[in-house]
C-alpha cells in the first residue's frame, strides 16, 4: 500500500501541464515534487516514514524519483506506473 503512495506521488509530480489547467493541479504537482526533495521538516519526515513502511530506502527513492521526474521518457514511465497501480 505504501509503495502505491510513492508511485502515486511520482504520477502527481510528472503530470503533464496543459493550457487552462486548474490552479490546484499546478499546486499538486509542485507539492508532489517537494515531497521528494524536502530534506528537513514535516514533509521530509512524512516521506521517510512512508518509505520505511514501504520497505524502501528514502535516499534511493529520492534519487529514483528525481531521475523519473527529469527524464524525457515521462510519458512511457507514467503508463507503466499506471499499469502497476491498476493491476495491484
For residue 88, pLDDT beyond 80: no
Question: CB–CB of 81/7 below 8 Å?
Answer: yes
Read off the pTM: 0.82
Q: Which whole-number Å values give the CA distances from 79 to 7, 18, 34, 48, in the listed order?
A: 12, 18, 22, 26
> Distance (Å, rounded) from C-alpha 82 to C-alpha 38?
25
Residue-wise pLDDT tens digits, 31-43: 999 999 888 888 8
Domain residue spans in the chain? 2-14+22-86
Amino acid at each position: 500500500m505504501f509503495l502505491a503512495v510513492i508511485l502515486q506521488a511520482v504520477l502527481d509530480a510528472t503530470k503533464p501541464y496543459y493550457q487552462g489547467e486548474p490552479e490546484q493541479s499546478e499546486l499538486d504537482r509542485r507539492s508532489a515534487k517537494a515531497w521528494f526533495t524536502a530534506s528537513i521538516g514535516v514533509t521530509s519526515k512524512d516521506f521517510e516514514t512512508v518509505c520505511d513502511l514501504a520497505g524502501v530506502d528514502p535516499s534511493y527513492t529520492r534519487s529514483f524519483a528525481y531521475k523519473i521526474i527529469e527524464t524525457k521518457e515521462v510519458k512511457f514511465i507514467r503508463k507503466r506506473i499506471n499499469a502497476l497501480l491498476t493491476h495491484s
